[in-house]
Structure 1
Amino acid sequence: MHVIVLGAGLLGTTSAYYLRQLGHEVTVVDRQATPAAETSFANGGQISVSHAEPWANPGAPAKLLKWLGQEDAPLLFRLRADMRQWLWGLQFLRECTPARTRHNIEQIVRLGTYSRSELQALRAERGIEYDQRTQGILHFYTSQKEFDAAEAPAQQMRDLGCDRRVISADEAVKLEPALAHIRPQLAGATYTAEDESGDANRFARELVKRCEEDGVRFLMSHTVTALRTAGGEIDHVEATDAEGRFQRLRADAYVLAMGSLSPVYAQTLGLSLPIYPAKGYSVTMPVKDASKAHQVSLTDDEFKLVFSRLGDRLRIAGTAELNGYDRDLNRVRCEAIVRRTEELFPGAGDTEQAQFWTGLRPATPSNVPLIGRSRVGKLFLNTGHGTLGWTHACGSGKSIARIVSGMRPELDFAFQPGA
């Protein structure tokens, strides 16, 4: 069977890889010249099964009201005359109940645990290097209230097989000595030894090389202009190449993995996907003083920031701004990340050489991605992964490959109806 994968980000490249492993002819189409050049280009770098508590949780509405209009808020709704944003927001509020939060954590942990195992197997089998670190992820808290609130989700994650242990401030500093500077402010931490980190963009580029060795065809710098249907199913894809030349591409099946653009293309087919772009920011800077820089990947839950060590670089990423498809760099938000990093690890990174980046993450109200068969014939979905695209990439890619092939996925997850 010939399968066209729309999108060469993390989800598209992993989908292509696993589809090829199952014997399919695979073509990947992407508007960028290189893979993972948008959402995952400079993300936080974490393979974080422990980051399973969704944005929509019982404490979220009060925080959002507090942060409304605050330019450097960790999660900022920039209210617009945009019906899709308001509908998404209403769905988000419905997901904030304790019961929905528990359900969503369960889905996110199951997919994350499976995906992390698949990444480890793929890395070993294909010899892929991407500045990976396997020292776990440490969530630290400088607010006693936030630390106390972390206990119940951590317990649920442990019950689901994600060993997110609650530890003291002293234990946290022992695991990551760079936190010694803020020991007086630390209320406590949680630690997940099995979690990892690494450069997602480098991984994607290396995986594309393995895919090409296996016979996958990549049409880069090709902009998809339309998805055409006939008889209730996808008939073909229309695209233009870098020179503007028109192409009509046909296959037996199509996988939509276009991140935050997925709902735009799906809407033309009569599909309303509950995905809204959440603009995230990151700062990358060289290590200035290795004795002050962190080694373990960290999560600052109060400020919604993650810290990863990528070789001789520090990557700090996070925050979310819901402001449509705007990709302008907001200096206030960038400087807030640098300021927080300097508060925690003064002198660790070379702030004079800091590089700022922003990307649009395809967020569902529940933080649970859309994976499976759509209502349109021949069209499959692998999108809506929000901040966890890197964590969920391999598990999602293998699952959609099995679904396209008419096989059952290997995990219990809320796949799309018909999957």
Structure 2
Amino acid sequence: MKIIVMGAGVIGVTTAYYLAKQGAQVTVLDRQPGPGLETSYANAGELSYGMTSPWAAPGIPMKAVKWMFMKRKPLFIWPLISPTMWKWGYDMVRNCNPESYRINKGRMVRISNYSRDVMPELITDTGIEYDGREQGTLQLFRTQKQLAGSQADQDILSEYDSPFEVLSPDGCIAVEPALAQVREKFVGGLRLTADRTGDCRTFTIKLAEICEAMGVEFQYGQSITEITIENNRVAGIETEIAGRLTADAYVCALGSHAPRLLNPTGIRLPVYPVKGYSVTLPVTDDAMAPQSTIMDETYKVAITRLGDRIRVAGQAEIAGYSNRLGPHATDTVRHVIGDLFPKGGDLSKAEGWTGLRPMTPDGTPVLGASRYSNLFLNTGHGTLGWTMACGSGRAVADVVLGKTPEISFEGLTAERYA
């Protein structure tokens, strides 16, 4: 069976791997000169199984208003004249209620837990080294109000069998010793013990190399201009350089750019780009640096240890498809690493980055079948593409090949937006 996968980020490459592993002839197309050069390039590095939750949660609209007036904003909205943006925002607000939150979180946890369970097998089979660690995520609370508010999260974690620990300041320092230098700045934490960390781009590059050894063809620098539909099926993919390319089946793993290609076919997905920022800096003192991932609850910024580097990522900027990295764009993430781990890394050598997260208004990605029998979807993972990559890649590969996936696709397909 010949299959074209559109997109060579972590989602597209994992999908290609699982397809090729089951004997498919796979071609991967991407406009970039190599794999993992867009959203997968410098994300937070968290494999956030315990923190899998939709952004659309009860109380978020009021919090969002407060965030926009903070000096170091976790959220910034550019008032664009964009019906698509405002419709997406309206739909997200509509999901900010307890019933929708519980439904959406259940769907997301189904994918992330499956990914958690299948990723070790992939690592064992491939031997990929990607600066991986298995020391959990520490959600750090600066106020008693934040700590008390985490009870709702604890209840949901218990419901979905996600292991956690509630920690005192001393407990936080026991798992992240460098925090002893700033113990007056936090009151406690919630440690998600099943979470892992690792460099998403390194993983994507090495898995792409393994895919090539398995016979997968990667065509880089190949911009897709159109999906051609004939007789209610995809007849081919139009590209700027190679012209029309054909296959038996097609998988769209284009992240934030998926709607641009799918809309003309009549498939209208509410996937919208939400811009995020990160800096990566070298470790200068291991004892003063983070050992795993710390999530600063106040600023919504993640600090992750990746080998001899520290990745600091966060912020949500709704600004359309802008990839501009302004001179002060990373001020918030720089502040957080300097505030919590002032002696751990060299901020003067920090490399800034920005990327677009493909967000759905309900938080759940769009997986599986589409209205066309030979076109399949694997997009809309938001901030959790790295977390969900192996699970969604394997499950979608099974669907493409006509096999029964190991998880239910109820509520995961594009049908929920019909």
Scaled by the length of structure 2, the TM-score of the pair is 0.96
Equivalent residue, structure 1, for 2:282: 286
Equivalent residue, structure 1, for 2:328: 332
2:316 to 315, 320, 328: 320
Greater mean alpha carbon deviation, residues 341-350 or residues 254-263:
341-350
Equivalent residue, structure 1, for 2:149: 149
Equivalent residue, structure 1, for 2:350: 354
Equivalent residue, structure 1, for 2:269: 273
Contact persistence 2:367–2:377 (CA under 8 A):
yes
CA distance in 2, matches of 1:394, 1:5: 15
| Counterpart secondary structure, 2:288 | coil
Equivalent residue, structure 1, for 2:161: 161
Contact persistence 1:57–1:101 (CA under 8 A):
yes
Contact persistence 1:154–1:165 (CA under 8 A):
no
CA distance in 2, matches of 1:246, 1:278: 31
Match of 2:402, as an amino acid? G
CA distance in 1, matches of 2:248, 2:206: 27
Q: Which runs of 5+ in 2 are unaligned?
A: none
Equivalent residue, structure 2, for 1:21: 21
2:412 to 392, 410, 415: 415
* Aligned-residue offset at 1:301: 2.2
| Counterpart secondary structure, 1:29 | strand
| Counterpart secondary structure, 1:302 | coil
Match of 2:9, as an amino acid? G
Equivalent residue, structure 2, for 1:59: 59
Greater mean alpha carbon deviation, residues 184-193 or residues 96-105:
184-193
Equivalent residue, structure 2, for 1:181: 181
Match of 2:163, as an amino acid? D
Contact persistence 1:31–1:224 (CA under 8 A):
yes
Match of 1:212, as an amino acid? E
Equivalent residue, structure 2, for 1:247: 243
Q: Which runs of 5+ in 1 are unaligned?
A: none
Relative distance call for 1:22 and 1:173 in structure 2 (3 A) is same
Relative distance call for 1:247 and 1:276 in structure 2 (3 A) is same
CA distance in 1, matches of 2:71, 2:222: 36
* Aligned-residue offset at 1:417: 5.9
* Aligned-residue offset at 1:197: 0.4
Contact persistence 2:133–2:198 (CA under 8 A):
yes
Equivalent residue, structure 2, for 1:74: 74
| Counterpart secondary structure, 2:247 | coil
Relative distance call for 1:343 and 1:71 in structure 2 (3 A) is closer
Greater mean alpha carbon deviation, residues 121-130 or residues 143-152:
143-152
* Aligned-residue offset at 1:347: 2.0
Q: What number of residue pairs does the alignment pair up? A: 415
CA distance in 1, matches of 2:293, 2:246: 43
* Aligned-residue offset at 1:100: 1.0
- CA displacement 1:269-293 (0-9 Å, x = unmatched): 1111011100000000111222210
1:377 lines up with 2:370 in the alignment: no
Equivalent residue, structure 2, for 1:259: 255
* Aligned-residue offset at 1:228: 0.7
- CA displacement 1:47-87 (0-9 Å, x = unmatched): 11112232111121001122336674112222210001000
Q: How does 1:216-231 map to 2 (within 5 A)?
A: 216-231=216-231
CA distance in 2, matches of 1:403, 1:285: 40
* Aligned-residue offset at 1:164: 2.4
Equivalent residue, structure 1, for 2:7: 7
CA distance in 2, matches of 1:131, 1:390: 14
CA distance in 1, matches of 2:117, 2:340: 32
CA distance in 1, matches of 2:359, 2:76: 14
RMSD: 1.5
Contact persistence 1:72–1:332 (CA under 8 A):
no
Relative distance call for 1:70 and 1:377 in structure 2 (3 A) is farther
2:338 to 339, 342, 346: 342
Contact persistence 2:177–2:287 (CA under 8 A):
no
Match of 2:386, as an amino acid? W
CA distance in 2, matches of 1:192, 1:211: 32
Contact persistence 1:269–1:376 (CA under 8 A):
no
Match of 1:213, as an amino acid? A
Match of 2:334, as an amino acid? V
Match of 1:203, as an amino acid? F
Equivalent residue, structure 2, for 1:366: 362
- CA displacement 1:139-192 (0-9 Å, x = unmatched): 111122222222212221222121123222221111111111232232221112
| Counterpart secondary structure, 1:331 | coil
CA distance in 2, matches of 1:368, 1:170: 36
1:208 lines up with 2:208 in the alignment: yes
Greater mean alpha carbon deviation, residues 324-333 or residues 121-130:
324-333
CA distance in 2, matches of 1:119, 1:16: 15
* Aligned-residue offset at 1:247: 2.1
Equivalent residue, structure 1, for 2:89: 89
Q: How does 1:295-314 map to 2 (within 5 A)?
A: 295-314=291-310
Contact persistence 1:71–1:333 (CA under 8 A):
no
Scaled by the length of structure 1, the TM-score of the pair is 0.96
* Aligned-residue offset at 1:128: 0.5
* Aligned-residue offset at 1:411: 1.6
CA distance in 2, matches of 1:204, 1:352: 28
- CA displacement 1:220-260 (0-9 Å, x = unmatched): 111111111101211100113xxxx3421001111000010
Contact persistence 1:316–1:337 (CA under 8 A):
yes
Greater mean alpha carbon deviation, residues 372-381 or residues 88-97:
372-381
| Counterpart secondary structure, 1:191 | strand
